[in-house]
Amino acid sequence: MRLLLHIAARMGMALLTMLSVSLIVFVAMRMLPGGFEMIILGPIQTEEARAVITEQFGLDRSLPEQFLSWLVAVLHGDFGISMITRIPIADEILRRLGATVQLTAMAVITALCVGLPLGVAAGLADSSTSVRTCGRLVGALGASTPDFVLGVALVYIFSVWSLGLTVGGYVPFFEDPLANLRAMILPASTLSVFGIALILRTTRESVLTVMTEGYITGAVARGDDPASIVRRHVLRNASLPVMTVATIYLSLLLGGAVIVEILFTVPGVGLYTWNALLNRDYGVTQSAVLLFSGVIVTCNMLVDIAYALVDPRIRGRRQQ
Amino acid sequence: MAIWRFVNLIAATLVTGSLVLVGAAQAGSGGSIAWGKPTEVISFDPHVSGDGASWSFFHLVYDQLLSTDDDFGLAPGLALSWEEVSATSYRFHLNPDATFSNGRAVTSHDVVANFQRLTNPESGGVWGKQLGEFEAIEAEDDHTVRFDLALPNPVFLKVLPLTPYSILPMTEFEAGTFDPAVDILGSGPFMVAEHLQDESWTLTRNPHYHRAGHPLIDELVIRILPDDSARIAALRDGRVDIATFANPDTPLLLADVPGVEVVVQNTTNYFRLDVSAIEEGSPFTDLRVRQAAHYALDREAISNIVFGGQAIVDYPVPAGLGYEACRDDPFYVMPRDERLAKARALLEEAGATGARVGVIGSSTLMIYPLIAQVVQANLNEAGFDAFVEQIPAAEWYARVFAEDTDFDLAVSWFAGYTDPAIVLFWWTQAGAAGWAHGYTITDDRLDALVARTRMLPEGEERNDALAEVCSVINENSNVLALVNKPDYVALRSDLIEARIGRNESTFDNLKYAEEFSRLD
């Protein structure tokens, strides 16, 4: 019962957050200088022609009216149409979701596969100066290199020397898996570098902390097998902070994916949102941001629930 | 003799038959060619669209009444021939084979209804104004249209090849089965098979295209690749066969890519600097300050620094059109040192030395901020305190092309089209209404001069009038022409055969796309 109440409270908070984000984005979009009618018609145009466009899309209505009608439609599952293409936004987003999901999945898997073992190794072998230095260096470099800097460098290098990988040549995975991977390796690598550093550093710190705990000393004193100590005690106890940063990383990935999709021309939701923002295609931006915020709050909610499941003290504390 | 005639007839029949067979064999057997395009099409309606990125696409699917040749001369389009019935009346004879891609023949009614839509201020917008007023537009028969103008307009014919005057299927429009804001249906060489927004367009050959056996290729795929490096990479690995660039470094960047040829396409377009001349608080409301900024400009430096010397100094009357007007204007010919001294003196006289002014170089084109940086340096040499503002398109439009403007200087560009009177129209009150009226001064003398230029036929008198217009424009220093705007077309000449026009005035970068073919 306690757990159910905890979940219900988290879901309520999640919905409130999404509503707030939608409102903020709606207001922010309308405060941006320049409107859709300017973009679609270009600068050399008459006031009359612009007025026709604003009326056609209901952009001449009051802001509360526009927001409420959008919200009501969304609650009915209607995200509206793109003002540029007149195609339903839900269809456009759905078509692009595959590329973004693949990109983020590849980045997360790479970050976990590289960051976790390196972090555990760095934590376990902390007494070695070279391992410690190496771990810190990789962590600092990865964390301090912005993905747009790395991305620009990779785009330039691989446009001059192809080296078997392609820049801007996205093909859906099920159409041509090899061509897809050739196009996705660079953007996924760019996106994963920060994640590798983040997970490496967090894992290393967690392992170091756990290693000083009494039960580890006890296990060593008992003569337990070192591999078993790592598996049963170190990894299990170090996993909670890693889980937290992995979730934060997933949230960051959505922001990073926008930049990486633009740089490598990956036709995902990020690129779509960016172009919509530039074109003042309001409905698309609002719907995409709603989707992003939905993913983020869902991730956070799932972590919270997982925390509560793993550690009963947390759900007890929340109920007090 | 009769035998020889018979032999000739047989020979002619055989030759014609062979050509038809060759044409038929070529048609539809040419495979696919991919074009790496930097920008997506924003607006689908050619009658109101105002961006060159969309225009270069429209020419692949829509036809205009007339076209242009490589020397900016008029060429047949949908109209195979035309005649000037009188100074105010023109008759066009449509190609009887012209057919929309849905299989319906293009008729006079389509042409008439198109121009009625264009001249309706609500649906045609600004482009109707370039046509002038009509007494009547009439369909004399299914393939003959007559335009009766209210006043003589020698520029009328030269306006017709412009993209906004594309001929749409108006019968379908009137029936409600074609919406130009959403649908694309023309009589051009290609038709749209698929569009994935921000990703690609797949065009297939229009089976009803009026030029027999054309296009030679079956399919033209347009890949939207905004990043220059992505287009270069795509050219390198053969994902695209043609790519267009605005970056003047393109020939250098592609020098090492095997099989790639770069064609520098000269255009009549030119970059310009808009000066905020009427906004309250702008230092440029003072004519002396505007002129100081004008004298301070170093167009040679813009060409050398931004374009590696490939751009040429340009004038309100586009240099690409070959007119001599504006060439001896003091703002251009005075040595740089003297111009700087003059600029400093004017600025001091106006009490504006050290005036802090922003130069907007929108990120819409990668060239804009680069030009803005050179302009900033030029102005600072003359005693301004200039800074560059790099902002997105929507903000630039809102701050510059609005009722209440909020800027000092902004880099932009004008299309030069096929005749100087077309671009000069934007300097008049009628031309600027609705978009540039927020920053341009009212000058009745200039309006009268431009109107006169428009009415004059080619010749000495017109050249003198153009020179006078130029002189007034430069004196006002409100909109300053900078350097021309060439386009760069790179193609894999080892994979395809593609004729690229060396001179272009209507954004028809791939004008000969119907003749493109694959070599492999």
Q: Which residues in chain A are contacts of B126 at CB distance < 8 A?
A: 44-46, 49
What confidence category does residue B12 fall into, taking pLDDT thresholds of 50, 70 and 90? Answer: very low
Asked if residue A222 and residue A124 are part of one domain, the reply reads: yes
pLDDT of residue B214: 94
pLDDT of residue B25: 41
> For strand B32-37 and strand B242-245, is the pairing parallel, antiparallel, or unpaired?
parallel
> What is the average pLDDT across B158-162?
94
What confidence category does residue B28 fall into, taking pLDDT thresholds of 50, 70 and 90? Answer: very low
Mind listing the pLDDT tens digit for each residue in A197-254? 988 888 888 888 888 888 888 888 888 888 888 877 888 777 778 877 887 787 778 7
**Residue at A272 is within a domain:** yes
Average pLDDT, chain B: 91
Instruction: Please say whether the beta carbons of A54 and A66 come within 8 A.
Output: no
Nearest CA in chain A to B235: A159
Q: Which of residues 411-470 of B touch A (CB under 8 A)?
A: 412, 426, 433-436
**Residue at A83 is within a domain:** no
Q: Which of A75, A104, A135 is the last residue of a domain?
A: A75
DSSP run (H or E) holding A159: helix A147-160
Nearest CA in chain B to A37: B394
Mind listing the pLDDT tens digit for each residue in A194-209? 889 988 888 888 888 8
- In the numeric block, the tokens 């446009």 are attached to A159
pLDDT of residue B170: 97
Distance between CA atoms of residues B173 and B244, nearest Å: 33
**Residue at A80 is within a domain:** no
Asked if residue A156 and residue A41 are part of one domain, the reply reads: no
Percent of chain B with pLDDT over 90: 72
User: Could you tell me which residue, A10 or B25, shows the higher pLDDT?
Assistant: A10
pLDDT of residue B109: 97
**Is residue A161's pLDDT more than 50?**
yes
In chain A, the number of structural domains is 2
Please give the residue range of the domain that contains residue A39. Answer: 2-75
pTM score: 0.83
- Given an 8 Å threshold on Cβ–Cβ distance, is B233 in contact with A162? yes
pLDDT of residue B132: 86
Instruction: Please say whether the beta carbons of A157 and B232 come within 8 A.
Output: no
| Nearest alpha-carbon partner for A79 in A71, A296, A57 | A71
- Given an 8 Å threshold on Cβ–Cβ distance, is B122 in contact with A38? no
- Given an 8 Å threshold on Cβ–Cβ distance, is A48 in contact with B395? no
Mind listing the pLDDT tens digit for each residue in B101-126? 999 999 999 999 999 999 987 776 78
Q: Kindly state whether A40 is in contact with chain B, defined as any CB-CB distance less than 8 angstroms.
A: yes
Distance between CA atoms of residues A238 and B18, nearest Å: 81
User: Could you tell me which residue, B240 or B127, shows the higher pLDDT?
Assistant: B240
Q: Kindly state whether A54 is in contact with chain B, defined as any CB-CB distance less than 8 angstroms.
A: no
**Is residue B48's pLDDT more than 80?**
yes
User: Could you tell me which residue, B140 or A148, shows the higher pLDDT?
Assistant: B140
Asked if residue A180 and residue A46 are part of one domain, the reply reads: no
**Residue at A87 is within a domain:** no
**Residue at A295 is within a domain:** yes
Asked if residue A21 and residue A133 are part of one domain, the reply reads: no
ipTM strictly over 0.85? no
| Nearest alpha-carbon partner for B466 in B429, B509, B419, B426 | B419
Asked if residue A189 and residue A270 are part of one domain, the reply reads: yes
Asked if residue A230 and residue A96 are part of one domain, the reply reads: yes
Asked if residue A244 and residue A115 are part of one domain, the reply reads: yes
Distances (CA, A) of A21 to A13, A17, A33, A271, A275: 12, 6, 20, 20, 20
Question: Residue B182: which of A86, A167, A280 has the nearest Cβ?
Answer: A86
**Is residue B498's pLDDT more than 50?**
yes
pLDDT of residue A313: 62
Distance between CA atoms of residues A198 and A139, nearest Å: 7
Distance between CA atoms of residues A125 and B54, nearest Å: 60
**Residue at A114 is within a domain:** yes
Question: Residue B399: which of A33, A39, A271 has the nearest Cβ?
Answer: A33
Asked if residue A199 and residue A170 are part of one domain, the reply reads: yes
pLDDT of residue B375: 98
* B441: Cα separation from own chain's centroid: 25
Q: Kindly state whether A49 is in contact with chain B, defined as any CB-CB distance less than 8 angstroms.
A: yes
Question: Residue A43: which of B43, B236, B435 has the nearest Cβ?
Answer: B435
Distance between CA atoms of residues A80 and A82, nearest Å: 7
Residue B396, burial from CB neighbour count under 10 angstroms (0-12, 13-18, 19+) = buried
- How far the first Cα of chain A sits from its last, in Å, is 14
Mind listing the pLDDT tens digit for each residue in A1-57? 677 887 888 888 888 999 999 999 999 998 888 889 888 888 888 888 888 889 989
Instruction: Please say whether the beta carbons of B218 and B26 come within 8 A.
Output: no
**Is residue B19's pLDDT more than 70?**
no
> What is the average pLDDT across B451-480?
94
Asked if residue A105 and residue A162 are part of one domain, the reply reads: yes
Cα dihedral value B216, B218, B221, B222, nearest 10: 40
- Given an 8 Å threshold on Cβ–Cβ distance, is A264 in contact with B230? yes
At residue B219, φ and ψ (nearest 5 deg) are: -150, 140
**Is residue B20's pLDDT more than 70?**
no
Asked if residue A60 and residue A152 are part of one domain, the reply reads: no
Å from A71 to nearest chain B CA?
25
Mind listing the pLDDT tens digit for each residue in B382-423? 999 999 999 999 999 999 998 899 999 999 999 989 899 999
pLDDT of residue A50: 86
pLDDT of residue A106: 94
| Nearest alpha-carbon partner for B71 in B318, B511, B418 | B418
pLDDT of residue B369: 96
Candidates B49, B120, B221, B397, partner chain A, best to mutate (most A CBs within 10 A): B397
pLDDT of residue B24: 42
Asked if residue A227 and residue A185 are part of one domain, the reply reads: yes
What confidence category does residue B9 fall into, taking pLDDT thresholds of 50, 70 and 90? Answer: very low
Candidates A265, A274, A278, A285, partner chain B, best to mutate (most B CBs within 10 A): A265
Q: Which of A75, A103, A132 is the last residue of a domain?
A: A75
Percent of chain B with pLDDT over 70: 94
Q: Kindly state whether A59 is in contact with chain B, defined as any CB-CB distance less than 8 angstroms.
A: no
The CATH code of the domain that includes A230 is 1.10.3720.10
**Residue at A82 is within a domain:** no
Q: Which of A23, A47, A75 is the last residue of a domain?
A: A75
Percent of chain A with pLDDT over 70: 95
Q: Which two tokens stand for residue B403?
A: 């009722």
Candidates B127, B195, B237, partner chain A, best to mutate (most A CBs within 10 A): B237
**Residue at A178 is within a domain:** yes
Asked if residue A311 and residue A189 are part of one domain, the reply reads: yes
Of A77-86, A129-138, B285-294, B387-396, the poorest mean pLDDT is in A129-138
> What is the average pLDDT across B286-311?
95
pLDDT of residue B27: 43
